A and B are shown apart, each in its own frame.
Chain A
Amino acid sequence: MIEIDDLSFTFPNGYKALNGVDLTISDNEFIALMGENGAGKTTLIKHLNGLLKPTRGDVTVDGVNTKRASVASISRKVGLVFQNPDHQLFCETVREEVAFALRNFGHKEDVISQRVQWILQTLDLSQYADSSPFTLSGGERKRVALASVLAWDPKYIILDEPTIGQDYLQKDRLRNFLLQLTSQGKTVLIVTHDVEFVAECKPTIVLLSKGKVVGQGPSEEILTNPEVVDRCSLTLPQIAQLTRRLEPYGADKKIIDVYSAISEVKRLIRRHR
């Protein structure tokens, strides 16, 4: 469990990015942290592995206060994948990149090569194992950054804007992969403003606005509430806009994903026959 208690953070230039955040991330939860550009989302997740330490308040990871632990020790549990993969990648080949942290944590070579092979395959990167990360496309580099974190099997997996630059097929794979991780008992937190992606994976949403948590709940509740969504510069997913319009005809306006919408519309058309 990660507990965030009255967390405030002020940058050295005086800018107050977080202002009294209270949030509990339970084990095996799947959370989407959403909010406008500049809401404080990235600043918040940098507190979860101790990269930033609170100006006021506390963050504890499985009972350990991040103020009293090194980033290296917290990182074994909390894997953070940055938004810009170029802030993270530095090795000569994709294989070395993914093996780097595993070596650092002192794993044996056969364990390392096994894990590397597994994760490259899972994220559709095997064919690039011996390429330099910098010859890959933006979307592919992002997957390498993700692979390099997942390789050491952290309990908490934090992803900053994982869908940026990913095509539809990769997003679909990412969605399945995140759901698979949660089914394996991992705790997953994504920072995103991709409402269409969230509507298809339906995590718990935590809304951050101007450095404060302003809402929390199931995707179907949050993403169908126009006032709440607007306040955080989000929009209703297209399907939610449609089911909302169709409510007078008997549609369930809490439907936000396309597959539920297909059955709902079928039901409506058949009922009226």
Chain B
Amino acid sequence: MRTIPLINVEDLSFTYSGASAPSLQNINLRVDRGEFVILTGLSGCGKTTLCRCLNGLIPHFYPGQLTGKIEVAGLDVQHRQPHELARYVGLVFQNPENQLFSLTVERDLAFGPENIGLPRAETRRRVEEALHTLNFEQLRHRAPYELSGGQQQKVAIFAVLTMQPEVIILDEPTSFLDPKSAHEILELIHQLNREREKTIILVEHRLDLASQYADRVVVMDKGRIVLNGPPRRVYSEKAYLIGIGVPKLTLLFNRLRKDRLHVRGNPITVEEAYTRLVEAIARD
């Protein structure tokens, strides 16, 4: 039996009202339940627009001309309201300050479940579970702005997670964070993917850190999907040429091979690169 993809986009094109050129052109994308997908490409390539199509902000809040099909968890996005879709697709913004607005952490975590009309007891259960998972019980009455950037982003992710969406879309969630907090956030996303089988769509420019967690990398250019496959396959010289920031380790290996040095593999972690280079150095 053919499995039904969780996200199914067919021949999607979209032009914002008033814009002269389409922002998306003939997008075809299938994402299965539990996949971890990185969506990347140059600024203005249509990444954010595509994400807006997946949670219904397009066409409901951003008017324009849309053709093609967008289905998420079997729902036709064009004929469902964003609040209905919020149960299935959660969106985490780049800057947690734009997402958190309540006076306490607890209130921010409860906002989503209350908004989709869950009973009080269930809302409370989910908030407690979130506080427990984050080990933030001590922070429940604190104002979000009093927390560190990393803590804020964790609250923002769980404020989405309390609605128990199947898909979580994160738009450059680590770019405002220091490297240590960024690492913690990526680990947290990885954990949600592995342990709770959440489907992850991570919009990211900095591929050095995120690649090791991804099943697939989708590269967009000028409103189209131009590359779509496992990270190692996508980080070819071709990807470098269209200007995406392939991980430096990939760049290093591509260069060595170009200069006819024999190094094997296409590493995306330091450990892998180390092993491969030691092989090359110690050979013969």
A in complex with B: yes
Known contacts: A140-B43, A235-B179, A246-B274. The answer to whether A258 contacts B245 by CB under 8 A is: no
CA distance A138 to B252 in the complex (A): 30
Q: Is the CB of A193 within 8 A of B284?
A: no
Q: Is the CB of A238 within 8 A of B247?
A: yes
Residues of A contacting B248 in the complex (Cβ-Cβ under 8 angstroms): 196, 238-239, 258, 261
User: Which of A137, A241, A261, A272 has a CB less than 8 Å from the CB of B252?
Assistant: A261
Residues of B contacting A266 in the complex (Cβ-Cβ under 8 angstroms): 256, 259, 261
CA distance A170 to B42 in the complex (A): 9
CA distance A30 to B150 in the complex (A): 28
Q: Which of A209-268 contact B (CB under 8 A)?
A: 230, 232-235, 238-239, 241-242, 245-246, 249, 258, 261-262, 265-266, 268
Known contacts: A37-B148, A249-B278, A272-B282. The answer to whether A137 contacts B179 by CB under 8 A is: no
Q: Is the CB of B274 within 8 A of A233?
A: no
Contact indicator per residue, chain B 152-186, by CB within 8 Å of chain A (1) or not (0): 00000000000000000000100111111101000
CA distance A246 to B275 in the complex (A): 10
Interface footprint category on A: 35 or more
Q: Is the CB of A238 within 8 A of B208?
A: yes
The total number of A-B Cβ pairs within 8 Å is: 122
Distance between A28 CB and nearest chain B CB, rounded to angstroms: 28
Residues of A contacting B148 in the complex (Cβ-Cβ under 8 angstroms): 36-38
Q: Which of A98-106, A151-159, A161-169 contacts B (4 or more CB under 8 A)?
A: A161-169
Q: Which residue of B lies closest to A195 (CB)?
A: B179
Known contacts: A168-B205, A241-B270, A272-B282. The answer to whether A37 contacts B259 by CB under 8 A is: no
Q: Does B214 contact A (CB under 8 A)?
A: no
CA distance A249 to B276 in the complex (A): 13
Q: Is the CB of A165 within 8 A of B274?
A: no
Known contacts: A165-B175, A167-B243, A258-B252. The answer to whether A238 contacts B180 by CB under 8 A is: no
CA distance A268 to B277 in the complex (A): 9
User: Which of A168, A232, A272 has a CB less than 8 Å from the CB of B244?
Assistant: A168
CA distance A201 to B42 in the complex (A): 21
Q: Is the CB of B251 within 8 A of A167?
A: no
Residues of A contacting B244 in the complex (Cβ-Cβ under 8 angstroms): 167-168
Q: Is the CB of B208 within 8 A of A193?
A: no
Q: Does B91 contact A (CB under 8 A)?
A: no
Residues of B contacting A242 in the complex (Cβ-Cβ under 8 angstroms): 249, 252, 270, 273-274, 277
Q: Which residue of B lies closest to A229 (CB)?
A: B179
CA distance A7 to B224 in the complex (A): 51
Contact indicator per residue, chain B 254-275, by CB within 8 Å of chain A (1) or not (0): 0110010101000000100110
CA distance A101 to B219 in the complex (A): 39
Distance between B260 CB and nearest chain A CB, rounded to angstroms: 10
Known contacts: A266-B256, A269-B280. The answer to whether A165 contacts B172 by CB under 8 A is: yes
User: Which of B48, B180, B252 has a CB less than 8 Å from the CB of A262?
Assistant: B252
Q: Is the CB of A169 within 8 A of B175?
A: no
Q: Which residue of A lies closest to B274 (CB)?
A: A245
Q: Does B124 contact A (CB under 8 A)?
A: no
Q: Which residue of A lies closest to B177 (CB)?
A: A37
Residues of A contacting B229 in the complex (Cβ-Cβ under 8 angstroms): none
Q: Is the CB of B273 within 8 A of A37?
A: no
Distance between A155 CB and nearest chain B CB, rounded to angstroms: 29
CA distance A171 to B44 in the complex (A): 15
Q: Write the residues of chain B forming the contact surface with A, with a CB cutoff of 8 angstroms.
A: 41-44, 48, 94-95, 148-150, 172, 175-181, 183, 205-206, 208, 243-245, 247-249, 251-252, 255-256, 259, 261, 263, 270, 273-274, 277-278, 280-284
Given contacts A137-B43, A161-B176, A235-B179, 11 further A-B contacts (CB under 8 A): A37-B176, A37-B178, A37-B181, A138-B43, A140-B43, A166-B205, A168-B243, A170-B43, A245-B270, A265-B261, A265-B277
A-B contact pairs, 16 of them (CB 8 A): A36-B181, A37-B148, A139-B44, A164-B175, A165-B172, A233-B179, A233-B181, A238-B247, A238-B248, A246-B281, A249-B281, A261-B252, A265-B252, A266-B259, A269-B263, A269-B280
